[in-house]
A and B are shown apart, each in its own frame.
Chain A
Amino acid sequence: MNKLLRDKKAIAIFVLPAFLLFTFILFIPICQSVYYSFCNYDALTKPKFVGLKNYKNLIIDPTMVTALKNSLFFLIFSCVSQLIMGLILAGLLTNIKKGRNFFKNVIYLPCVLSSAALGLLWMFIFSPKLGINQILQKFGMEGPLWLMDINGFIILPMWVIAFVALWQYVGQSMMLYMAQISGISTSLYEASYIDGCNRVQAFRYITLPLIKPMVGTAMSLNAIGSLKFFDLIFNMTEGGPNKMTHVLATHLYEQGFKYFKYGYASAIGTVLLVLCLIMTFLINKVFKSDDI
């Protein structure tokens, strides 16, 4: 049996197809992309090494600054809001019996739907004269230009999109927390109630510490998801008005596939990649440690 399980030829047959695919479609292109980010490269020319030129242009590109700001806002907002809302929903749902499955399934539903389609829907709901503003008008109020207002450090459209993203994806965090909470033994809670804890205290001193590793997992999913964020923005604002709602992903798409600045877009991609790796590393460091 040992011989059977150490069969080198079989292992190669099992692993190599996926391994080669992974190497050619993912690993080599990543390396190429990092290399291109140091090159002058567009649709007409061959890549030519120019050192840090693309990165120097990135720093002085106002759209890049906006995109980075918006992406970081998104990152922080979705990590914090999904943590809080996800925990509240999971906490409430594990405490009720009737209708638990119904509420759970309804809240998770948008996660599986096409965010391109939902983006179009929300674009309509937040358009200047229709949707929400039509309702507000009936009450004699004039609604703001939800997706076009450009005042403030974080402009209104970004908040709107961030809330839509929270609406769509909070179900995922909630599910993960619920799975972890339902794995906690009830005897722990019973013991704490005997010792005089109330439900809020039990949540604080038993549930929270025990789901800490899951918080890390859910948060790194959130962080990477929000850095990759593309569909909703593309269909709700396309980066406008005045390029104020660009995030890294939409900026990369526009530079790379509208203006065909491959080298420059690769530099944006590299920034994105580095941010993803840093966030994964940081979150793992903070949440996967053993101390409670």
Chain B
Amino acid sequence: MNKVVKFLIYLFLSITAIIYLAPLVWVFFVSFKTNKEIFTDPFGLPKSFFIDNYTFAWTAGKLGIAMSNSLFVCVITLILSLFLGSTVSFAIGRMRWKISGLVLVYFMTGMMIPVHCVLIPLFTRFAKIGLSNNLWGIILPYLTFSLPTTIFIMTGFFKGLPNELIESACIDGCNIYQIFLKICLPLAKTGLFVTGLMTFIANWNELLLAMVFISDDSKKTLPVSLSKFVGPYNTNYSQMFAAIVIAIIPTIIVYCLFSNQIVEGLTAGAVKE
């Protein structure tokens, strides 16, 4: 490749990278400014690190509670979806039964269906059985909507395991549950890890369902609590920026640590056999 072309490619990519990083870096700096400073000098470095924005957002803005709610919901959903998803995937990918293909298709239709379509029936039903305004009321739908991707990726992983392993386990006298728990599940660790990451991130960011199902301030999740910082009569931008940083920092850290696995999960979920 000649040098001019190479230079142009790098120039283009660098500009793109700046467009991507600039808003995120900027929001970090601006979150340390006072509200007045934001209006007079929004683009310079903050004069002093004004930490009050964060303490206000964390306590009065209830982001601390929101963060622990989000963690609770996401961790429970993560564990349940990995367990339920991998049992189904094992049965579909490894065991022999006639309608396994059909059941897989049934689960896969979930990928095409937007959560919006089930909001109203779920909302009215959950209100009757005491699941509205309850964190379990959002865990159940999150879990359900995580299953299709989990099952899709995990079925692939289980299908890829060598037959001999299961045969020898069988000869050694393992029953089917032991084969699943002690042989296959540990071998599918990578799969579990990438699907787990995908599930966690998707649920961590989910707004609509959480907003509809939870009205109690002390039970709101992070994305829902964020929208409290803006309103037609509220111009306290500095606290909003602190809230934005609080909301995106955990995902940025997770992303920096595991970006390769996240990418793997994304492509594994999309590449059809």
A292 lies within 8 A of chain B by Cβ: no
| Residue in chain A with minimal CB distance to B18 | A106
Chain A 69-97 per-residue mask, 1 if CB under 8 angstroms from chain B, else 0: 00000000000000000000100110110
Residue pairs across A and B with CB atoms within 8 Å: the count is 263
Let me know if B20 and A22 touch, CB within 8 A.
Answer: no
CB distance from B21 to the nearest CB of A (A): 6
Which one of B45-53, B186-194, B246-254 is at the interface?
B246-254
Let me know if A10 and B19 touch, CB within 8 A.
Answer: no
In the bound complex, residues from chain A placing their C-beta under 8 Å from that of B24 are 109
In the bound complex, residues from chain A placing their C-beta under 8 Å from that of B107 are 18, 22
The residues in B between 139 and 178 inclusive whose CB is less than 8 angstroms from any CB of A are 140-141, 143-145, 147, 151, 166-167, 170-171, 175-177
Chain B 74-107 per-residue mask, 1 if CB under 8 angstroms from chain A, else 0: 0000000000110110111011110000010011
In the bound complex, residues from chain A placing their C-beta under 8 Å from that of B123 are 256-257
A50 lies within 8 A of chain B by Cβ: no
CB distance from A127 to the nearest CB of B (A): 9
Contact of A213 among B95, B112, B272 (CB under 8 A): B272
Let me know if B112 and A280 touch, CB within 8 A.
Answer: yes
Chain A: interface residue total (CB-CB under 8 A): 92
Docked pose: A1 CA to B95 CA in angstroms: 10
| Residue in chain A with minimal CB distance to B247 | A117
Let me know if B144 and A25 touch, CB within 8 A.
Answer: yes
Contact of A22 among B17, B147, B177, B252 (CB under 8 A): B147
Let me know if A26 and B16 touch, CB within 8 A.
Answer: no
In the bound complex, residues from chain B placing their C-beta under 8 Å from that of A108 are 259, 262-263
In the bound complex, residues from chain A placing their C-beta under 8 Å from that of B176 are 4-5, 7, 10
Give the secondary structure class of B's interface: helix
In the bound complex, residues from chain B placing their C-beta under 8 Å from that of A167 are 19-20
In the bound complex, residues from chain A placing their C-beta under 8 Å from that of B94 are 5
Let me know if B226 and A117 touch, CB within 8 A.
Answer: yes
Let me know if A11 and B266 touch, CB within 8 A.
Answer: no
Chain A 253-292 per-residue mask, 1 if CB under 8 angstroms from chain B, else 0: 1001100001001100110110011001000000000000
- Measuring CB to CB, which residues of chain A are less than 8 angstroms from any residue of chain B? 1-2, 4-8, 10-11, 13-15, 17-19, 21-22, 25-26, 28-30, 32-33, 36, 89, 92-93, 95-96, 99, 102-110, 112-118, 120-125, 130-131, 134-135, 167, 172, 175-176, 179-180, 199, 213-214, 217-218, 221, 224, 227-228, 230-231, 234-235, 248-249, 252-253, 256-257, 262, 265-266, 269-270, 272-273, 276-277, 280
* A-B residue pairs in contact (CB < 8 Å), sample of 16: A14-B90, A15-B88, A21-B140, A26-B118, A28-B121, A96-B6, A96-B9, A102-B17, A116-B227, A117-B244, A120-B227, A120-B244, A130-B42, A179-B263, A224-B112, A256-B120
